[in-house]
Structure formats: structure tokens, C-alpha cells
Amino acid sequence: MSRERVALGTPVDMTYKFVVAPDAKITSDYHVMVHFADQDEQLMYADDHDPPKPTSQWKPGETIEYTRTFFTPVYPYVGATTVEIGMFAPNEKLRMPMAGTDTGHRSYRVTSFQLVPQNEGVQMIYREGFHAVEGATASGTGSHWTKKQAMFAVTNPKKDAVFYFEVDNPSALLNAPQQVTISMNGMTLEQFKLVPHELMRRQIKIPASTWGSADRVELVIDVDKTFIPSALSDSKDPRELGIRVIHAAIVASS
């Protein structure tokens, strides 16, 4: 894991490394089970996923390594957290046997970290230009559509930091790519094109010198193309829509 202390609601980069046994014969495509448990070993949430290379293509003695970014939910718990991994396939009755500490049913404890309160992370507030949250759950997940310009109010960490930004445009009403510009204090941090119906994940470095001296800084998102659903279809939605923000968080260097 990229950090040993993770504030609720913030991302953490997790690197997975599987070494295939010399005598292994894997014929099924297994999913990777990733469970996060509290100090009482109760499951809180999961990040199950498929590895980038299907397991049926793994060869004996091969090493498979990749990194995923996981956004911790805003969950009502802080403290020691353990990560357990297993591998399962729909057509297999048992999970794949692996070397490690088996906690039962071939679920293997691999690491631990500390979940800390949300206010220990860099605070970001959705301000002007964002529509109300959609699809929110008790864990605090949900997404926000932007207008042509949207703004975050960010507590200045006065350190090197990384802006984690996950966006898409799932609408069928705008089929042209959109140019997205991210800026702070009048300086462009990054520009990229967002292709319709594709999820875009960016990790944007923000040097300490970019923040300036103010206690709160505005992080601005500009989109070159927007649309109004009610003007283009039978929809009754009159909002100006730019891009959909699924995750946005800033992690400062320790």
C-alpha cells in the first residue's frame, strides 16, 4: 500500500504481486477478492476485481504485478484495518489455494493499515458549478455533474500533493470528445480529452509552490462542451451538464 495511514474518503494505491507456483495449472479465469476488515475481523467493504491478465493465461513461475487505486468509503470506523485476499471463479467450488496466512475458506491476510478520521486528509468542498450529488449511499459515495465551469474549495496543505480525479460522460446526447482543463491560482495543472462513455482516471501532481500562501485555494474544472438534456431529447432535465465527477480527492505528501 502507498500509505500506512489513510483518511476516510481518500484514495490509496495498492500494488498486487502474485507469483505463480512452478507446478501450478490454472485453467479458469479467477476474480481477485479483496476484503477490508475492522479490528474485530468484521467485513467493512471490498474491492473485488479482475486482474489485468486473465488467470487462465498465467504461466508456472510467472510473476503478475499491477497497481490499483482504491477510494476508501466514508465508513463509520477508524482504527486498525486488515486486508485479506482470495481468488474465486464462478465455475469452481473452492477458492484458489495460495501461500500465506489463511483466515479460513482460503482467504489470506496480506497487510494492514490505519484508517484515520476524514479531517486528517486534505479537505475538498464542492462549490459553484456542481450539481447536487446523485446515487449517494450511506458510505458517502455518489457522483456530481459539473456545469461548464466548476470549482472545489481546497484546504491548502502547503506541500507537494496529488489530485486524484475520476470522471466520465455516460450520456448518449453528447458524442463528441470534451476537453477538460484543471487549474489553480491561474495556472493550468493539466488538460485532457474525455471520450464519451469512457472512464478517465487522472493522478495530477501539484507542487508545493503552486498552492500559494492562502489557507484555502480554488481548484477549477473547465469543460469546453456542455449539453442540456431537455433541449436535445424528450428529457425534462433542464440542467447544463459538462462531465460527471465520480471521485475527486487530494493526497498530500507526508
Kindly state whether residues 47 and 107 are assigned to the same domain. Answer: yes
Kindly state whether residues 155 and 111 are assigned to the same domain. Answer: no
Q: Which of 67, 96, 118 is the last residue of a domain?
A: 118
Q: Which of 83, 101, 118 is the last residue of a domain?
A: 118
Say whether 55 sits in a helix, a strand or coil.
helix
What is the model's pLDDT at position 254?
82
Kindly state whether residues 111 and 126 are assigned to the same domain. Answer: no
Q: What is the mean pLDDT of the chain?
A: 95
What is the model's pLDDT at position 197?
94
Kindly state whether residues 10 and 100 are assigned to the same domain. Answer: yes
Q: Find the distance separating the first CA and the last CA of the chain, reported in whole Å.
A: 14
| Amino acid of residue 249 | A
* CATH label of the domain that carries residue 199: 2.60.120
> Which residue would you say has higher pLDDT here, 137 or 40?
40
Domain count, the chain: 2
pLDDT at 18 over 80: yes
Which of 1-10, 54-63, 136-145, 209-218 comes out lowest in average pLDDT? Answer: 136-145
pLDDT in tens, 125-157: 999 999 999 987 655 578 999 999 999 999 999
What is the model's pLDDT at position 140?
56
pLDDT in tens, 63-83: 999 999 999 998 899 999 999
DSSP assigned state of 22: T
Kindly state whether residues 68 and 83 are assigned to the same domain. Answer: yes
| The three cell numbers locating residue 133 | 450529488
Which whole number is the average pLDDT over 210-232? Answer: 97
Kindly state whether residues 131 and 243 are assigned to the same domain. Answer: yes
Q: What is the spatial distance between Cα 20 and Cα 18, in angstroms, rounded to a whole number? A: 6
State the pLDDT confidence band at 209, using cuts at 50, 70 and 90: very high
